[in-house]
Structure 1
Amino acid sequence: MNDITEQFTSLYHPTSALIVYQSVAKYDSANTYIEHFDIDRNGTLVNAHPLTIREAGRLSKALKIQQEKETFLTPKDIIGKHILYLDAVKSKAVWFTPTKKRQLLFTEKLGIQQGEAFLPSLLWSADRNHLSVFALISNRRPTLKATLYNAPFFNVYESGNVCMGTVDIRIQKTASLEEFTTAWEEYFFNSYFSHLMGDYNPIKGNCVSLWEELISTGKAFPKEVLKKSIIPLKSLLQ
């Protein structure tokens, strides 16, 4: 029989060890000494020496990375029903927001007055560096069979990917799930909508006229202008 263990798991070998010495004197309990050992191929502790500043720095960095892995996308509370998918290993989350009114910003060249307008229900998919947005017909929590629609905004590709332009994205490595989703929504709505992506029009009709009317009248978003997306919801949950 062949040993195929290495083909499906990572092997870890001990390479160093730390031993912490503390004074036994009652009056000197705060006095601590740390000794660093290398470990040879036989598992024997060798090369004993005081922990150096460089070694302490590497240890601190390793602990920080581990802490970030353990805390990133950790919920602060019970996970809300708006969260559809969560993968802390991939640093990814998928969530949706119901119809609501939001402040929208536009560049001068579009000629659209900035202001509040009602939006359709939206579906968001993001990792630490990328964001995709789609529209939904219903305010109900979507299932895998739900149809996605193109997000009716400027700066969004047909694939749903958002062009953030020069926006400086800084998602903290220790961000909670709630901080992560809130940060992405704020980045999206606090940036200026500026242009359509090439010849792609996300709605049935004129996108400029749509937002001019919605901002000036305060009407509910007309769902009939939405176009079905080519992206299935299931593909976002990977």
Structure 2
Amino acid sequence: MNDVVIHHRGNIDLELDAALLFYRSKAGDIYATQHTARVVDDRPVLLPGTPMTLEGLADFVELAARRTSYRGFVHDRVVYLAPNTLAWWLPAGTRRVWFKTTSKLADRSGECNHPPLLFIVNRRSWSVFALRHNERPGAGSRLYQAPYFNVWDDGRICVGNADTPKTISSDSIKPYEDAFFRSRFTHANTPRLIRRRGGAVRLWLDLLEGAEFPLHQLIDTKRTLADVINNLTDKD
């Protein structure tokens, strides 16, 4: 058995106390037992275990959550929150954008109108979708292609050298939004970002001239908020 090294701020004495053993069936069912643990002749020994109750498991999860999960007041725009996963919506509004492209957009920048958006972050990816209605989305809300450069058709954002938060919590909402809008949009990651003659380039040229955002031209992803969240959490 390899040695286990535990790092802790400050001086603290730790003694082996207990262990949890998890058993999994081929069907995916999980059974857990809790064992008292002792050190005998400098070797760890597990004593006979007892089935772990739901109450005991809840206590364990609560203790772990104090270190691994967000605790605090939930941001009023959050629509889904779980360990290492956060989704929130951003109402339609005016934001400044910057471009650095080889198209007619060149290196233009300016204030323009944006559609309502939905952002999702987890440990592996950072995604954005557009919404057709300027209201808080629910589980069944349809998601639309976010018509931005540097965004894939599945919603994933090409991070590039953007400075994103190191943790996922309600406190990271503004930093993520700032990182997205303050980046330089350089190229389309998918052939079709909007149902509009002239495509995304024409769209953003018009928006930079003060046009209203054409919500009716958004491309339907054929997925709901619940579809995307379930797909992400199934991979965790």
For this structure pair, what is the TM-score category when the shorter chain's length is used for normalisation?
0.5 to 0.7
TM-score, normalised with respect to structure 1: 0.67
Q: How many residues align?
A: 186
CA-CA distance at 1:14 after TM superposition: 5.8
Structure with greater helix share of residues: 1
Cα deviation, residue 183, structure 1? 2.3
- Offset of residue 10 of structure 1: 4.8
1:156 correspondence with 2:160: no
Q: Given the alignment of the two structures, is residue 196 of structure 1 paired with residue 196 of structure 2, yes or no?
A: no
What is the aligned-residue identity percentage? Answer: 26
Q: For the Cα contact (< 8 Å) 1:101–1:116, is it kept in 2?
A: yes
| CA distance in 2 between partners of 1:9 and 1:190 (Å) | 49
Per-residue deviation, residues 93-149 of structure 1 (Å, max 9, x unmatched): 111111011111111423421111111010111113411111111111112222111
Distance in 2 between residues matched to 1:96 and 1:224, nearest whole Å? 19
CA–CA distance in structure 2, aligned partners of residues 16 and 168 of structure 1: 47
- Give the structure with higher Rg (CA): 1
Match for 2:110 among 91, 97, 115? Answer: 115
Alignment of 1:7-156 (within 5 A): 7=24, 8-11=30-33, 40-41=44-45, 70=66, 74-77=70-73, 79-88=74-83, 91-112=84-105, 113-156=108-151
Displacement of 1:191 in angstroms is 1.4
How far 1:162 moved relative to its partner? 1.1
Look up the equivalent residue of 1:159 and give its one-letter code: D
- The question of 1:184 aligning with 2:184 is answered no
Separation in structure 2 between the aligned mates of residue 127 and residue 42 of structure 1, nearest angstrom: 36
Classify the secondary structure of the residue corresponding to 1:229.
Answer: strand
Counterpart Cα distance in 1 of 2:63 and 2:96? 36
Q: d(CA) in 1 for partners of 2:171 and 2:64?
A: 14
How much does 1:201 deviate? 1.1
Corresponding residue for residue 56 of structure 1: none
Instruction: Give the letter aligned to residue 193 of structure 2.
Output: P
Give structure 2 stretches of 5+ with no counterpart: 1-20, 25-29, 48-61, 231-236
Secondary structure of 1:201's partner? coil
Q: CA RMSD in A?
A: 3.0
Q: 1:12 to 1:109 in 2, by over 3 A?
A: farther
Q: Call closer, same or farther: CA 1:119–1:72 in 2, change over 3 Å.
A: farther
Tell me, yes or no, if the aligned pair for 2:37 and 2:46 is still in contact at 8 Å.
Answer: no
Aligned counterparts of 2:172 and 2:145: Cα–Cα separation in 1: 23
Decide whether aligned partners of structure 1 residues 191 and 13 sit closer, same or farther in structure 2, where only a CA change above 3 A counts: farther
Structure 1 residue 68: Cα displacement: 9.3
Alignment deviations for residues 65-89 of structure 1 (CA, whole Å, 9 cap, x no partner): x999635552532x2442111111x
Q: 1:186 to 1:227 in 2, by over 3 A?
A: same
The one-letter code matched in structure 2 to 1:6 is Y
Quick one: distance in 2 between partners of 1:144 and 1:224? 21
Question: What letter is aligned with 1:76?
Answer: G
Q: What's the secondary structure of 2:185's corresponding residue?
A: coil
Instruction: Flag as ranges the 4+ runs of structure 1 deviating above 3 A.
Output: 9-17, 37-40, 66-69
